[in-house]
Chain A
Amino acid sequence: MEFVIEMLNIRKEFGNFVANDNITLQLKKGEIHALLGENGAGKSTLMNVLFGLYQPEQGEIRVKGNPVHISNPNIANELGIGMVHQHFMLVDKFTVTENIILGKEITSGGRINLKQAEKEVRDISERYGLAVDPQAKISDITVGMQQRVEILKTLYRGAEILIFDEPTAVLTPQEIKELIQIMKTLIKEGKSIILITHKLKEIMEVADRCTVIRKGKGIGTVNVSETNPNELASLMVGREVDFKTEKSPADPKQDVLDIKDLVVKDSRGVTVVNGLNLSVRAGEIVGIAGIDGNGQSEFIEAITGLRKAEKGSVMLNGKELFGLSSRKITESGIGHIPQDRHKHGLVLNYPIGENMVLQTYYKRPFSKNGILNFKEIYNKARTLIKEFDVRTPSEYVLARALSGGNQQKAIIGREVDRNPDLLIAAQPTRGLDVGAIEFIHKRLIEQRDNGKAVLLVSFELDEIINVSDRIAVIYEGQIVAVVDPKETTEQELGLLMAGSNRKEAGEGTHV
């Protein structure tokens, strides 16, 4: 079998740090080859070497058997290597076509021939089953569509080998299905794909072979048909991993959170939470399942005081929280693991230690007579960093310098440590690897077992079903159904999330 790409014994160092240590990856023509590893294992470094952004210290790269020297991304492009970035590189105010041709414009007499370009874009998109509207503006289309534009960009430039960097991280379950279909079509059309991911399910579903790297070292390449998720996970993490989160049955007590007829508008003034009712009891985890954009973010922001609600009632332990400031709400016993850890969860330019007292800095012993007591602050930080296994060179390092997983562990440590009656976790495992996800789920269940209420919002159905004791489905700003995770299926949830009512969805599962 012919290899289209061979990366042999690649070694890449940054100062004293070895990011890639003797890694070999061989991509066959027409295969989907997964590159699996934890956050920080060196996947992106390896791909950046292939894409010409980094120069390896050792090793050889061959394209179709010929040794090549890829000193910059343009050479990678010429060799037919295209990258679909995790964070899209698109100009919001340009149309789909304008974005695709950017840098490779078809011109006639100094003017861009948009008609011709649109036709070419349409041809490519039809050939590969990538339905897009060439004239739509990027800012008007969904994230899934934007990703298709990224893929089209590489195809337009004649890519034969496509690298997908964590492509499903930002997609809804439906969009993920479509993406997988697209990848299969691409293979049929003779392309080869490297898929960077840490989601085992996707690898099992779509990949032919899988190369695993751990802490910068190549662990090996396996045929996906001969392996299973458990084996892949232990190869990646280096130990056995629990998938089904172990938990005892819930023992719910009194209502902790009771929300009635909550109405919230988004920043544009559109009503996105429209008369929402929900209660969460002590000793249970309630999961909110829903497709992104059905009011989840605004709902959480409203009950945590980050956004003003229009009307309704939010009772915590019988006390009305509606209209209170975020400080008052925090003090009345709500912990909040925010959806966007960079935007809300951390002051990235503060040392990680100082981030550990973000809501308690003004209280004793951290502050006395208006003066901060850094000794106490850093003592607290050290305790939490140890207890929650936050990997950082020291507590004085800026939060910015930590990896996503460790930032998230720090936030969770801080929130859990305040021992809130209600812990709200919005997308707590987004973008994290198996090991970190396992850790976070255990912590959430631990809170529940300590008799606290937990409200979990996630777009990952697996997570919702695994962790929750009850599942509330949100659709267009209302809770449309509350189901028992033991008695539901992904399919039923998917239909409920898409707006079918309970009865139809229930019938759907029986067919």
Chain B
Amino acid sequence: MSKRLVNILTPIFAVILGIIFGTIIMLVSGYNPIEAFIALGQGAFGDVYQIGEVVRQVTPYILAGLAVAFAFRVGLFNIGVEGQFIVGWLAAVWVGVTFDLPAIIHLPLAILAAMIAGGLWAFVPGLLKARFRVHEVIVTIMMNYIALHTVNYIVNTKMNQGSSKTAKIHETASLRSEWLSDFTTGSSIHWGIIIAIICCFIMWFLLEKTTRGYELRAVGFNQDAAHYAGMNVNKNIILSMVISGCFAGIAGAMEGLGTFGYMAVQGGFTGVGFNGIAVALLGGNTALGVFFAALLFGILKIGALSMPLAGVPKELVDIIIALIVFFVASSYIIRIVLERFSKKEVK
């Protein structure tokens, strides 16, 4: 069995195992798994409305997954996607409510603002890592809290238009479209999915085809060899964090300009950034893998909303997701099984 095939089969088996174990948990706790999965399927694909909701949910997952995956390919663990996501969201909304511009400028400007905000937020841990070898995991975790509370403060005191929310963004900065919404019988789908798909392509192209990508990957694989080759390791570390933060910032813009159209005070972390870690892990840190992993997570999350109709708590889906992540993380077990299996075939 080729290595490539094993790499593709591993996450698929992880998903299957996650579902099997989820089923066992449902049986043990007295729920009917068949009804639960039917409800889940209905909730995700029942009609165009649900499909629209799935697409809307998938959009930020793709971008958050890309953010984590990109940093990971350069050997960095960006846990700060959540914080970069939140500051990106606020920056996009701020541009959306503050300026009066034609849509052709306003929307790109708002997305750009989110990118810059996310990028700057990731620049700090990148710089500290490059200059002082401070571990990025610790810095990004702290930056998440700083982001959450700073953004809440700004929304509450500077941009509050009542009930702890900012004003609605102007139409010219919105990703929503009546046509899309009508087409999906009123779902909150927006054009962001196109941006997310473009970003998948950008990540793939940047890493695999460009000279910069060659450097970034070399730094990720072997910093000593990169240094030997004359590459500026520190510059590449900072750059990769910034690009990662840009993806996370755009993910925030998707919520600010698409799903919600405003920013509200957050009671806690949104979880999008952390789901991005799971998405990247399941997707093997490749652009295409991230796309499919985000799709799966979006389907599970939206489908889960209908599970209570079958009398099954929607939290069970979180357990299934956790199990999938667990099986991917312990993928070497699956790899060993696959390799045993292929050895027997040869004999």
| A interface with B by C-beta (< 8 Å) | 15, 304-306, 325-328, 330-331, 336, 338, 343-350, 354, 358-359, 361-362, 367, 370-372
In the bound assembly, the distance between CA atoms of A343 and B224 in angstroms comes to: 6
Chain A positions within 8 Å of B229 at CB level: 326, 358-359, 361
B210/A347 in contact, CB under 8 A: no
19 residue pairs of the A-B complex, CB under 8 angstroms, read A306-B227, A306-B228, A325-B232, A326-B229, A326-B230, A327-B232, A331-B230, A343-B225, A344-B224, A344-B228, A346-B225, A347-B218, A347-B226, A354-B214, A358-B218, A361-B214, A361-B215, A370-B212, A372-B213
Q: Counting CB contacts under 8 A, is B7 at the interface? A: no
Known A326-B230, A359-B229: A370·B211 in contact at CB below 8 Å: yes
B218/A350 in contact, CB under 8 A: yes
Name A338's contact: one of B215, B228, B230 (CB within 8 Å). B228
Known A15-B346, A325-B232, A372-B214: A349·B209 in contact at CB below 8 Å: no
Known A347-B218, A348-B222: A362·B211 in contact at CB below 8 Å: yes
Known A371-B211, A372-B209: A348·B228 in contact at CB below 8 Å: no
Chain A positions within 8 Å of B209 at CB level: 371-372
Q: Counting CB contacts under 8 A, is B221 at the interface? A: yes
Among residues of B, the one whose C-beta sits closest to the C-beta of A398 is B3
A344/B225 in contact, CB under 8 A: yes
Interface bin, chain B: 20 to 34
Chain A positions within 8 Å of B215 at CB level: 361
In the bound assembly, the distance between CA atoms of A344 and B230 in angstroms comes to: 11
Q: Interface majority SS on B: helix, strand, loop or mixed?
A: helix
Q: What is the number of contacts between chain A and chain B, taking CB atoms within 8 Å? A: 66
Q: Counting CB contacts under 8 A, is B231 at the interface? A: yes
Q: Which residues from 217 to 251 on chain B have a C-beta closer than 8 Å to any C-beta of chain A?
A: 217-218, 221-222, 224-232
Q: Interface majority SS on A: helix, strand, loop or mixed?
A: loop
A325/B230 in contact, CB under 8 A: yes
**Residue of A347, A349, A372 ringed by the most chain B CB atoms within 10 A:** A347
| B interface with A by C-beta (< 8 Å) | 209-215, 217-218, 221-222, 224-232, 346
Chain A positions within 8 Å of B212 at CB level: 370
- Chain A nearest CB, measured from B214 CB (Å): 5
A345/B225 in contact, CB under 8 A: yes
Known A338-B228, A359-B230: A367·B211 in contact at CB below 8 Å: yes
Known A325-B232, A326-B228, A359-B229: A350·B221 in contact at CB below 8 Å: yes
Among residues of B, the one whose C-beta sits closest to the C-beta of A338 is B228
In the bound assembly, the distance between CA atoms of A326 and B54 in angstroms comes to: 50
Among residues of A, the one whose C-beta sits closest to the C-beta of B231 is A327
B230/A327 in contact, CB under 8 A: yes
- Chain B nearest CB, measured from A227 CB (Å): 41
In the bound assembly, the distance between CA atoms of A44 and B37 in angstroms comes to: 54
Known A15-B346, A348-B221, A350-B221: A372·B228 in contact at CB below 8 Å: no
The 3 closest A-B pairs by CB, nearest first: A327-B230, A344-B228, A367-B211
- Chain B nearest CB, measured from A16 CB (Å): 9
Known A347-B222, A348-B222, A349-B221: A326·B211 in contact at CB below 8 Å: no
Chain A positions within 8 Å of B222 at CB level: 343, 346-349
In the bound assembly, the distance between CA atoms of A345 and B218 in angstroms comes to: 12
Known A361-B211, A370-B211: A326·B218 in contact at CB below 8 Å: no
Chain A positions within 8 Å of B211 at CB level: 361-362, 367, 370-372
In the bound assembly, the distance between CA atoms of A370 and B221 in angstroms comes to: 21
B230/A330 in contact, CB under 8 A: yes
Chain A positions within 8 Å of B218 at CB level: 347, 350, 358
In the bound assembly, the distance between CA atoms of A327 and B230 in angstroms comes to: 4
- Chain B nearest CB, measured from A344 CB (Å): 4
Chain B positions within 8 Å of A338 at CB level: 228
Chain B positions within 8 Å of A350 at CB level: 217-218, 221
In the bound assembly, the distance between CA atoms of A361 and B209 in angstroms comes to: 12
In the bound assembly, the distance between CA atoms of A305 and B228 in angstroms comes to: 8
Q: A336-B228, A344-B227 are in contact. List 11 more A-B contacts (CB 8 A).
A: A325-B232, A326-B228, A327-B230, A330-B230, A331-B230, A338-B228, A348-B222, A350-B218, A361-B229, A367-B211, A371-B211
Among residues of B, the one whose C-beta sits closest to the C-beta of A374 is B209
B221/A326 in contact, CB under 8 A: no
Chain B positions within 8 Å of A336 at CB level: 228
Known A345-B225, A348-B222: A371·B230 in contact at CB below 8 Å: no
Chain B positions within 8 Å of A327 at CB level: 230-232
Known A15-B346, A326-B230, A347-B218: A370·B225 in contact at CB below 8 Å: no
In the bound assembly, the distance between CA atoms of A492 and B91 in angstroms comes to: 73
Chain A positions within 8 Å of B230 at CB level: 305, 325-328, 330-331, 359
- Chain B nearest CB, measured from A286 CB (Å): 22
Among residues of B, the one whose C-beta sits closest to the C-beta of A307 is B227
- Chain A nearest CB, measured from B219 CB (Å): 9
Chain B positions within 8 Å of A344 at CB level: 224-225, 227-228
- Chain A nearest CB, measured from B48 CB (Å): 40
- Chain A nearest CB, measured from B65 CB (Å): 22
Among residues of B, the one whose C-beta sits closest to the C-beta of A349 is B221
Chain B positions within 8 Å of A348 at CB level: 221-222
In the bound assembly, the distance between CA atoms of A343 and B227 in angstroms comes to: 10
In the bound assembly, the distance between CA atoms of A354 and B221 in angstroms comes to: 13
Chain B positions within 8 Å of A343 at CB level: 222, 224-225
In the bound assembly, the distance between CA atoms of A371 and B210 in angstroms comes to: 4
In the bound assembly, the distance between CA atoms of A338 and B211 in angstroms comes to: 24
Among residues of B, the one whose C-beta sits closest to the C-beta of A361 is B214
- Chain A nearest CB, measured from B233 CB (Å): 10
B228/A345 in contact, CB under 8 A: yes
Chain B positions within 8 Å of A359 at CB level: 229-230
Chain A positions within 8 Å of B226 at CB level: 347
**Residue of A15, A328, A350 ringed by the most chain B CB atoms within 10 A:** A350
Chain B positions within 8 Å of A326 at CB level: 227-230
In the bound assembly, the distance between CA atoms of A306 and B227 in angstroms comes to: 7
In the bound assembly, the distance between CA atoms of A290 and B85 in angstroms comes to: 56
Chain B positions within 8 Å of A358 at CB level: 218, 225, 228-229
Among residues of A, the one whose C-beta sits closest to the C-beta of B205 is A371
Chain B positions within 8 Å of A362 at CB level: 211
In the bound assembly, the distance between CA atoms of A371 and B215 in angstroms comes to: 12
In the bound assembly, the distance between CA atoms of A346 and B228 in angstroms comes to: 9
